[in-house]
Amino acid sequence: MIKIPVYRPYLHGNERKYVNKCLDSTWISSKGQFIERFEEHFRDYVGSSFAISTSNGTTALHLALLSLWIGHGDEVIVPSLTYIASVNSIVYTGAKPVFVDSLPKSWQIDPNDVQRKISTKTRAILAVHLYGHPCNIEILQKIAEANGLYLIEDSAEAFGSYFKQKHVGNFGIVSTFSFFGNKTITTGEGGMLTVQDRALYEKISILKNQGNDPLRSYWHTMIGYNYRMTNLSAAIGLAQIEQANEILQKKRTIAIWYQERLKGLPLQTHQEDPDYVHSFWMISILLDQPKDRDLLRDFLLSVGIETRPFFYPIHYLPMYKNIASGKSCRTAENISARGINLPSFPDLTQSEVEFICEQIAIYFRQKTSRLSDAAVMPEALLMST
């Protein structure tokens, strides 16, 4: 039985009040006051010019690529160490993902490998801010500009993350966020795009609404999609963003508790580099030895603590092996094999974090004891004869 889950949404604001308002008004689908209010509050919080709500983070990514006319014959550079949606959305358009490696310290996309993988077919760089730590988006901006490429930010896991005091999602031509139930702020299911350009904003708004002309009902000017957020979801999102600072501060405090209690163990926590603000969407650790990952997860589960392994590198997965053409991303592979996401929800108490860390310490003490017993066993057997 799981006593401490990996994640639980923080629902301590106006969620119930706003949802009840939706029910009372009967505006429960993709029209209603909460959609516009949530978009405006999100736009202002992250500091973008425009924000467009969607049904989930994957549809936001798909819209981002479609809005730039990326399609058959194009290549999009993407880190192999990411959630599957980053890559699937590229393939939805008919374009080809080109996998790049990660940096060993930050675990983020490797700009040098990006530079190496650019070809005459490359149209865009899809930069992912993994687990809440921003990637070096400034270097990627320069690479994109020098090569005439679009820079797209996948900020699904990085609400509340900053690079040089600027919120992520404001560096690329278009950026995306996710509000799944385990995200820092949630709408249950939902997503958002942020852009600075009005023409791009208007194009994405039409694409997500079945290609319908906003000034002429049922007049469709392009092939579009039903990727709209519901008023019910937006109501939850508005209540969530009202608590954003509180949630982010709680997560930072929890990260500090973990870092202090895990010192001295054969693992490393995800550190915040200078010039970056880590939102600590997930409290993540890298074990020194890959073989400990699954053993530790099983041990923690036996005492009621749920964990997650890191994402598999996408070039490992069956449907993308041929695209990868045997090329490896060794750092991404190494990080994936050693990584665990620990319970990370904002309501975690200090005593719960102490319990989790103590159980991790117990695992390593027991491991050390077993190794010591194995080392002396031959001598003991010899003496008994």
Does residue 8 lie in a domain region? no
Last residue of a domain, one of 195, 226, 241: 241
Q: pLDDT grade, residue 381 (50/70/90)?
A: very low
Q: Does residue 57 contact residue 156 with C-beta atoms inside 8 Å?
A: yes
Question: What token pair was written down for 257?
Answer: 């508790």
| Residues 17-48 pLDDT 10s | 999 999 999 999 999 999 999 999 999 999 99
The domain spanning residue 158 has which CATH number? Answer: 3.40.640.10
Mean pLDDT of the chain: 95
Can you give the pLDDT at residue 328? 81
Residue 68 lies in a domain: yes
pLDDT digits (tens, 9 = 90+) for 85-95: 999 999 999 99
pLDDT digits (tens, 9 = 90+) for 68-111: 999 999 999 999 999 999 999 999 999 999 999 999 999 999 99
**Confidence bin at 384 (pLDDT 50/70/90):** very low
pLDDT tens sequence across 232-246: 999 999 999 999 999
Q: What is the pLDDT of residues 328-351, one digit of tens each?
A: 899 999 999 999 999 999 999 999
Last residue of a domain, one of 241, 261, 285: 241
In angstroms and rounded to an integer, the radius of gyration of the C-alpha atoms of the chain is 23
SS3 211: coil
Residues 152 and 80 placed together within one structural domain of the fold: yes
- Confidence bin at 383 (pLDDT 50/70/90): very low
- Both 174 and 264 in a single domain? no
pLDDT for position 325: 58
pLDDT tens track for 174-203: 999 999 999 999 999 999 999 999 999 999
Same domain for 236 and 360?
no
The amino acid that residue 112 corresponds to is N
Q: What is the mean pLDDT of residues 53-60?
A: 98
Q: Are residues 236 and 258 in the same domain?
A: no
Looking at residue 288, the DSSP 8-state letter turns out to be S
Name the region of 32 (left: φ>0; alpha: ψ -120 to 50; beta: rest): left
pLDDT digits (tens, 9 = 90+) for 298-331: 999 999 999 999 999 999 999 998 886 557 899 9
- Whether 5 maps to a domain, the answer reads no
Instruction: Say which residue, 372 or 367, is predicted with more confidence.
Output: 367
For the segment 208-229, what is each residue's pLDDT rounded down to a tens digit? 999 999 999 999 999 999 999 9
Boundary (domain end) residue, out of 185, 214, 241: 241
Crossing angle of helices 292-302/350-384, nearest 10°? 110
Write the pLDDT tens digit of every residue in 109-145: 999 999 999 999 999 999 999 999 999 999 999 999 9
Q: Is 204 found in the same domain as 224?
A: yes
* pTM score of the predicted model: 0.94
Helix or strand run (H / E) with residue 283: strand 283-287
Domain count, the chain: 2
Average pLDDT over residues 262-266: 97
Print burial letters for 25-41: b (CB count within 10 Å at least 16), e (below 16).
eebeebebbbbebbbeb
For residues 148 and 229, state if they share a domain. yes
Map 91-140 to HEC letters.
HHCCCEEEEECECCCCCCECHHHHHHHCCCCEEEEEEECHHHCCCCHHHH
If asked whether residues 152 and 268 sit together in one domain, one would say no
User: What pLDDT was estimated at residue 375?
Assistant: 61
Give the domain CATH number at 284.
3.90.1150.10
Q: Which pLDDT score, from 0 to 100, does residue 148 have?
A: 98
Q: Identify whether 354 is part of a domain.
A: yes
Q: What pLDDT sits at residue 378?
A: 57
Residues 288 and 341 in one domain: yes
> What residue numbers bound the domain in which 265 lies?
244-372
